[in-house]
């Protein structure tokens, strides 16, 4: 069965509760979520785990417990190493088997509680790693309001290029600099040229920015030269994380023509460490908002009625900023933006299908970014460049400080929450990064 048709089963029951006590007050990781990740404790080897409340189920230990069989056992064994790639390669049915068995083992009244309890690791004792070994990373540009806003800054005479509504635009990023949440963001060095300068200069970037994005993890890939039909595209998606594609806007302005993003983007990309599976997201899939009447219909290879009926997500995304002074004063982080993921012009399936449409081989563990997801109104923009109108309007913070772009010591936290009537809400966890001074 195609993943373009969401499957609702007993694991999504909103009445389900777990015997893991912290699950009751954990907004991101109730038993209806069960996301995948890679963790370790001090002195131990990284291995796969599943989040439940404020604990992690050790999948390597679970695989040896005798509590699993069949595809669920195969899934846990595949996730017992330092990356989830072997599990992702097994596909949707194997992930679903593990999810259903874990749901049965962790729910209230489960007879296996005493056998599972020793396999739980407190999150407070764990270090999180990237979910997968990333062979390649591609960043798209599917947030149409962000594209229009940025285009108006860089190309006021022609903000949204004519190809935007025909083709999902993207560029290849740098897999080697993708890091998990909590990794320091070292201010990049770069070549820039001020509008009133005769020649460029080199030094620390002055206009450092965040970008609010979703990260899409590839499960099963495709052979070189083959394509992925749009109706089957979500069968190739393991799940989602949050993604912050940090950007040096002053470097970007000087270097991006004619070939697009380069050093302004590839110094670091931060992802939240938990992969929320497509199986967990079934209740939160919704119809893609219809395109404006005068917009072109996507070409046939990018159009599927099933994808249009359930290709969007009932997800609210938020960005918070705290400065070093705010943290010292005990002030709460300042919310920069909040908005729905339905501001994506292209769906996840369209991104995957287009990426493989020329025969490009996608591999298990490959990462795709959605591009910055912004809304049309103030308070919903996913980057400081949009919020401050390229530094023309400074943000006033509770500490009395102001910001146009990020300064050393600033911390950005991305969050996302899935909500749908009749179902228990789940989250993506945090995607967190703090700016540290440039080196060299």
* Residues 116 and 150 reside in one and the same domain: no
Q: Which domain holds residue 311?
A: 137-436
Q: Which helix (H) or strand (E) holds 263?
A: none
* Residues 370 and 422 reside in one and the same domain: yes
Instruction: Tell me the pairing of strands 411-418 and 120-122.
Output: unpaired
Phi-psi region of 338 (alpha: psi -120 to 50; beta: other; left: phi over 0): beta
Decide if 2 is inside a domain.
Answer: no
* Residues 114 and 142 reside in one and the same domain: no
* Residues 122 and 191 reside in one and the same domain: no
For 439, how many CA atoms within 13 A lie in the half-sphere containing its CB? 6
* Residues 124 and 141 reside in one and the same domain: no
Distance between first and last Cα of the chain: 54
* Residues 122 and 153 reside in one and the same domain: no
* Residues 345 and 228 reside in one and the same domain: yes
* Residue 227, burial from CB neighbour count under 10 angstroms (0-12, 13-18, 19+): middle
| pTM, to two decimals | 0.96
- Token duo for residue 245: 């594609």
Q: Which residues pair with 241 in a beta bridge?
A: 215
Residue with tokens 């749908």: 420
* Residues 270 and 373 reside in one and the same domain: yes
Phi-psi region of 70 (alpha: psi -120 to 50; beta: other; left: phi over 0): left
Among 95, 128, 161, which residue terminates a domain? Answer: 128
Report yes or no: 379 and 337 within 8 Å, Cβ to Cβ: yes
Q: How many CB atoms lie within 10 A of CB 77?
A: 18
- SS3 state of residue 284: helix
Report yes or no: 381 and 337 within 8 Å, Cβ to Cβ: yes
Among 93, 111, 128, which residue terminates a domain? Answer: 128
Q: What is the CATH number of the domain that holds 418?
A: 3.90.850.10
Q: Establish whether 146 is a catalytic residue.
A: yes
Number of domains in the chain: 2
| pLDDT tens series, the chain, 440 aa | 444 689 999 999 999 999 998 888 889 999 999 999 999 999 999 999 999 999 999 999 999 999 999 999 999 999 999 999 999 999 999 999 999 999 999 999 999 999 999 999 999 999 999 999 999 999 999 999 999 998 888 788 888 888 999 999 999 999 999 999 999 999 999 999 988 899 999 999 999 999 999 999 999 999 999 999 999 999 999 999 999 999 999 999 999 888 888 999 999 999 999 999 999 999 999 999 999 999 999 999 999 999 999 999 999 999 999 999 999 999 999 999 999 999 999 999 999 999 999 999 999 999 999 999 999 999 999 999 999 999 999 999 999 999 999 999 999 999 999 999 999 999 999 999 999 999 97
Decide if 321 is inside a domain.
Answer: yes
- Token duo for residue 163: 């190809």
Cα separation values, 189 from 177, 184, 254, 420, 437, Å: 15, 15, 13, 44, 10
Catalytic, out of 129, 145, 146, 236: 146
Decide if 174 is inside a domain.
Answer: yes
Report yes or no: 258 and 373 within 8 Å, Cβ to Cβ: no
Q: Which helix (H) or strand (E) holds 309?
A: helix 305-310
Decide if 105 is inside a domain.
Answer: yes
Residue with tokens 């699993």: 68
């Amino acid at each position: 069965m195609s993943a373009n048709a969401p499957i609702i089963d007993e694991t999504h029951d909103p009445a389900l509760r777990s015997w893991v006590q912290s699950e009751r007050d954990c907004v991101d990781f109730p038993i209806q979520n069960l996301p995948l990740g890679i963790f370790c404790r001090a002195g131990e080897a990284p291995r796969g785990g599943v989040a439940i409340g404020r604990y992690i189920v050790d999948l390597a230990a679970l695989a040896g417990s005798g509590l699993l069989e069949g595809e669920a056992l195969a899934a846990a064994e595949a996730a017992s190493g330092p990356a989830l790639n072997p599990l992702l390669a097994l596909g949707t049915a194997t992930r679903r088997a593990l999810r259903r068995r874990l749901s049965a083992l962790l729910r209230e009244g489960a007879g296996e509680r005493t056998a599972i309890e020793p396999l739980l690791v407190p999150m407070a004792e764990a270090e999180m790693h990237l979910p997968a070994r990333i062979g390649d990373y591609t960043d798209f540009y599917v947030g149409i309001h962000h594209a229009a806003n940025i285009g108006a800054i860089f190309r006021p005479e022609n903000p949204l290029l004519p190809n935007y509504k025909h083709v999902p635009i993207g560029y290849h990023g740098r897999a080697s600099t993708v890091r998990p949440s909590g990794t320091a963001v070292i201010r990049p060095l770069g070549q820039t040229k001020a509008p009133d300068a005769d020649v460029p200069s080199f030094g620390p970037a002055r206009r450092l920015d965040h970008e609010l994005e979703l990260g899409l993890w590839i499960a099963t890939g495709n052979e070189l030269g083959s394509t992925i039909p749009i109706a089957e595209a979500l069968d190739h998606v393991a799940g989602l994380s949050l993604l912050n594609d940090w950007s040096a806007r002053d470097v970007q302005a000087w270097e991006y023509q004619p070939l697009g993003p380069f050093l302004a983007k590839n110094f670091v990309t931060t992802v939240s460490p938990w992969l929320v599976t497509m199986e967990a997201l079934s209740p939160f899939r919704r119809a893609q908002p219809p395109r404006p009447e005068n917009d072109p219909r996507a070409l046939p290879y990018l159009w599927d009625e099933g994808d249009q009926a359930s290709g969007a997500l009932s997800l609210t995304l938020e960005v918070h900023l705290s400065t070093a002074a705010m943290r010292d004063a005990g002030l709460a982080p300042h919310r920069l933006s909040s908005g729905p993921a339905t501001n994506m012009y292209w769906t996840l399936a369209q991104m995957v299908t287009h990426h493989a449409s020329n025969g490009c081989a996608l591999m298990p563990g490959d990462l795709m970014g959605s591009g910055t997801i912004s809304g049309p109104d103030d308070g919903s923009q996913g980057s400081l460049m949009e919020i401050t109108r390229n530094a023309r309007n400074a943000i006033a913070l509770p500490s009395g400080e102001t910001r146009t772009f990020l300064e050393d010591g600033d911390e950005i936290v991305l969050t996302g929450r899935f909500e749908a009537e009749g179902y228990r809400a789940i989250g993506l966890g945090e995607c967190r990064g703090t700016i540290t001074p440039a080196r060299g």
